[in-house]
Amino acid sequence: MSLLPILRFPDPRLRKVAAPVDRIDESIRRLVRDMAETMYEAPGIGLAATQVDVHKRVIVIDVSETRDQLLTLINPEIVERDGVQVCEEGCLSVPGIYERVERAERVIARYLDPDGVQRTVDASGLLAVCLQHEIDHLEGRVFVEHLSQLKQMRIRNKLAKQARITA
Ligand code: NI
């Protein structure tokens, strides 16, 4: 297993739309293992392949406090959404930035597990937020793009300043 470098907003590669996985082979299984290791190490509660510059529809999530409930979703698709919630979100690609984003309160998503079995997850609360956030990444969208232009500009400036300090 190996840790994968995570792209940082506003890297243009975060805007790429990921392609569906047509065959779950060893390279996909290796990607899933590396993504899980990278997410746990960060630490984060979710990671999309887009963030590690692999433009395939693969997501790993673990919202458990015990960090042992890994959920791997291949070709995830939201088939139902319901209600509204506002939650403070962060992202491994936007370090140090936390902002409130409006999302559906509950979503039902269909996906393939790493064995290629079609599954459904019925999620609310944090898991629902995380699913929407990660599926957005596969569409080339970072959570800050849900915010006003003014807020986005402030975030870009703050990140640029951070980059200069750490460079
Ligand atoms: Ni993210």
Q: Could you give the residue numbers annotated as active site?
A: 134
Q: Is residue 6 part of a domain?
A: no
Q: Is residue 127 part of a domain?
A: yes
**What confidence tens digit (pLDDT) does each residue in 122-160 have?**
999 999 999 999 999 999 999 999 999 999 999 999 999
* Predicted model pTM: 0.96
How far is Cα 109 from Cα 90, in angstroms, rounded to an integer? 22
Q: Is residue 42 part of a domain?
A: yes
Q: Is residue 4 part of a domain?
A: no
Q: What is the pLDDT of residue 10?
A: 92
**What confidence tens digit (pLDDT) does each residue in 56-66 have?**
999 999 999 99
Q: Which range of residues forms the domain containing residue 159? A: 12-166
The whole-chain average pLDDT of the chain stands at 96
DSSP state of 126: H
Residue 53, pLDDT above cutoff 70: yes
- Give the Å distance between the CA of 28 and the centre of ligand 1: 20
| CA angle 59–61–66, rounded 5-degree value | 160
How far is Cα 157 from Cα 57, in angstroms, rounded to an integer? 30
Residue 92 has which token pair?
């491994």
- Give the Å distance between the CA of 84 and the centre of ligand 1: 20
Q: What is the pLDDT of residue 164?
A: 84
Q: Which are the contacts of 147, defined by CB distance < 8 A and separation ≥ 6? A: 99, 101, 155
Q: What is the pLDDT of residue 117?
A: 97
Q: Is residue 106 part of a domain?
A: yes
Q: What is the pLDDT of residue 84?
A: 98
Neighbouring residues of the ion ligand 1, judged by CB less than 5 Å: 91
Q: Is residue 124 part of a domain?
A: yes
Residue with tokens 């209600």: 83
- Give the Å distance between the CA of 69 and the centre of ligand 1: 19
Please compute, for residue 146, the number of CA atoms within 13 A of its CA located in the half-sphere on the CB side.
Answer: 18
Number of domains present in the structure of the chain = 1
Q: What is the pLDDT of residue 167?
A: 66
Q: Is residue 55 part of a domain?
A: yes
Query: At 50, which CATH number?
Result: 3.90.45.10
Q: Is residue 134 part of a domain?
A: yes
**What confidence tens digit (pLDDT) does each residue in 76-101 have?**
999 999 999 999 999 999 999 999 99
